[in-house]
Amino acid sequence: MGAVSIDLNSDLGESFGRWQLGDDGAMLRLVSSANVACGFHAGDPHGLRRTLRAAREAGTAVGAHPGYWDLRGFGRVPMELPPEVVRDDILYQLGALAALAAAEEVRLRHVKPHGALYNAMAVDAELALAVAEAVRAFDARLPIMVLAGSEAERAVRGAGVPVLREGFLDRAYRPDGTLAPRGTPGAVHSDPERVVRQALDLALEGTVGTVEGGRLELAVDTLCLHGDGETAVALARRVRTALEEAGVTVARADVPQDA
């Protein structure tokens, strides 16, 4: 096997006013890419600018993390919206974050939809195309992070927008390659050893276990470790150490040549 490189990403900038969620500064020193909230599901302008500044200082690549307009539900409540509404909501959020990023001399490098929108895109090609249209209108060079092997990957790629195939370290997979819904038993991994094992399996073998005990082949460019848990920083440190000890370079993902 040749040299292996993998991107490690985390969803950040999700604090809101006095409600502080996670430790962005610490996570930014451990991951290679940060998905920064855009204000619809989490984040306030001052806090977002602070996270963008910290990313620049840490040398961490920044992407936009837009979602449904759902502060109460943290963007995790499913919604049925017309595709053109989703398209324009995404475009609005990209513009807002880009203004703050420009003020900090930060360039947006990718887009990763959040939460319920991300999961809906994984099975709904029309919704995935709406997001692709928004990104293409904003900056056609920006890749979209999508669930590896999903309908979103096929739809976005078919629309001519670059994709980054994403795998999850702290989430359980169903046999069809979708994520087990939050709230169902075992949907979120809490055992650090299991998270580390999943990271190594995805990065080195391109496989992941399922909730039913089987295994999926899953080619990925980037690995997500959520930044909002109480143990997120310690877990990110363990994952990065394990990857590097296994000979894996943690670095920002470049868009695959076949994308």
Q: What is the DSSP string of 158-196?
A: HTT--EEEEEESSB-B-TTSPBPPTTSTTSB---HHHHH
Mean pLDDT calculated for residue range 34-46: 98
Q: What's the number of CA atoms in the CB half-sphere (13 Å) around residue 34? A: 33
Indicate the domain borders of the chain. Answer: 4-250
Helical packing angle, 192-200 and 232-245, nearest 10°: 40
Task: Give me the pLDDT at residue 2, please.
Answer: 54
Output the pTM of the full model.
0.94
Three-class SS of 108-145 = EEEECCCHHHHHHHCCCHHHHHHHHHHHHHHHCCCCEE
What are the phi and psi torsion angles at 226 (to 5°)?
A: -65, 140
Distance of CA 86 to the CA centre of its chain: 18
**206-241: per-residue pLDDT in tens?**
999 999 889 999 999 999 998 777 789 999 999 999
**Residues 138, 141: Cα–Cα separation, whole Å:** 9
Mean pLDDT calculated for residue range 167-187: 93
CATH number given to 4-250: 3.20.20.370
Q: List the beta bridge partners of residue 71.
A: none
Q: Name the nearest CA neighbour of 221 among 159, 160, 143, 155.
A: 143
Distance of CA 49 to the CA centre of its chain: 19
